[in-house]
Amino acid sequence: MQVVMKWFVWKALAVCGMVAISAPAQVVVDALERPVRMTVRAPHSVLLDITQAGNRMVAVGERGIVVFSDDEGATWRQGKVPVSESLTAVTFVNPKMGWAVGHAGVVLHTEDGGETWVRQLDGKTAAQTALQAAQSFASNHPGSPEGQRLLDAAKLLVDDGADKPFLAVYFENEQTGFVAGAYGILFRTQDGGRSWASWMDRIDNPKSLHINAMKASGDNIYLAGERGLFLRSSDNGNRFTRIETPYKGSYFTIILSQSGDVVLAGMQGNVYRSGDQGKTFTKVAVPIPATIGISTKLRDNTLVFVNQAGQVLLSGDEGRTVHVLTAPPLPPSAAVLQGTHNMWSVGVAGVVPFSMSEPTLANAGMQ
């Protein structure tokens, strides 16, 4: 996830990096080769995603920071990370095994619940992998416009170097997973991340639009991104087909209801819901036209959205209707998580607890 702020952080850090490189008499070590700096301020750094690993909460963010808590946020420890690239998304398939992705096409893996991480992929290797796949596709489809498009896109990835961020990660189990991000980059692993295959020839995204979010339910995997991009795979990720939606602006988040309904949210508070696995969509009325970049599902199946104004919106009817939580706004946030006792937000203020208690919570969306 979660992507609105991630996008701006990516741009800002890229500018900072260029300034540092051009500064006279300053030695700059590639952030892909520089381990994260250990700091007591880590939980208060800019954090971009948070998830659960068993009973542990794990958050990731700027300059390779990973923090985790085993006591419901009372104390936090910092993980050991081999890179200083900012991390945008994190997921776990069990309490020990997880993956984090981020800038420069980095994919990290942990087998101890986030305490230590190893690098499995970076943008340079990903670009070469994409080029080899494009060359193979073009060779097997001589004269194909799609083959030429894939070649051109892959060559551009190689020429640009490791500057494309992954923005979303999904793992079905300990072996099979996907990472996706800017300019339509999409890679798949079937061996727990030890090797990766370019999946750009399996996706209907000829304009290489950014992929901002990814969710799965059964054999269905959904991708959403800029300019109304929405894709669905109904064969467990073998191929992704584009489905037109009523909105042509950017989607930043996907949420799946308990019954499998798909809810997309994005620019200017646009929210669309599908009750037929993404075949058709209905616009959801949202009281405030502020961009929504965050969504999550609570244990009681309430759907939660957070907009750029820091306002929390709730739905108790699987996304058919939403209302604004009566509470002070959150600081600029990139993700939220339901803990054991509190809700947690991560963003520019680091890890922040907040409450969603209000008289109408049980009836959210029913008014």
Of 138-142, 245-249, 317-321, give the lowest mean pLDDT range.
138-142
CATH architecture type of domain 3-122+162-363: 7 Propeller (2.130)
**Residue 355, pLDDT score:** 87
Output the six-digit token pair for 88.
């945008």
Percent of the chain with pLDDT over 90: 78
Contact present, 199 and 223 (Cβ < 8 Å): no
Which pLDDT tens digit goes with each residue over 338-347?
988 889 999 9
φ, ψ of residue 120 to 5 degrees: the values are: -110, -25
Output 277 or 81, whichever has higher pLDDT.
Answer: 81
Residue 243 has pLDDT above 60, yes or no: yes
3-state secondary structure of 139: helix
Domain ranges, ordered by start, for the chain: 3-122+162-363
pTM as predicted: 0.89
Output 233 or 357, whichever has higher pLDDT.
Answer: 233
Q: Judge residue 19's burial from the number of C-beta atoms within 10 Å of its C-beta, 0-12 exposed, 13-18 middle, 19 or more buried.
A: exposed
Average pLDDT over residues 124-136: 93
Average pLDDT over residues 122-145: 92
- Count CB neighbours of 215 within 10 A: 20
- Count CB neighbours of 23 within 10 A: 10
Average pLDDT over residues 247-274: 96
3-state secondary structure of 206: coil
CA separation for the pair 179, 187 (Å, rounded): 5
Residue 22 has pLDDT above 70, yes or no: no
Which pLDDT tens digit goes with each residue over 26-74?
445 689 999 999 999 999 999 999 999 999 999 999 999 999 999 999 9
3-state secondary structure of 8: helix
CA separation for the pair 197, 205 (Å, rounded): 17
- Count CB neighbours of 124 within 10 A: 15
**Residue 361, pLDDT score:** 40
Contact present, 178 and 170 (Cβ < 8 Å): yes
**Residue 24, pLDDT score:** 45
Please name which of 17, 215, 191, 200 lies closest in space to residue 104, comparing C-alpha atoms. 17
3-state secondary structure of 10: helix
Query: Which sign, positive or negative, has the C-alpha torsion 25, 17, 110, 45?
Result: positive
CA separation for the pair 218, 232 (Å, rounded): 12
Average pLDDT over residues 279-303: 95
**Residue 28, pLDDT score:** 52
Helices first, then strands: H and E counts in the chain: 3, 27
Please name which of 280, 215, 199 lies closest in space to residue 252, comparing C-alpha atoms. 215
Residue 356 DSSP label:
-
CA 2, distance to chain mean position in Å, is: 6
Which pLDDT tens digit goes with each residue over 263-275?
999 999 999 999 9
**Residue 161, pLDDT score:** 81
Average pLDDT over residues 91-118: 98
Residue 6 has pLDDT above 90, yes or no: no
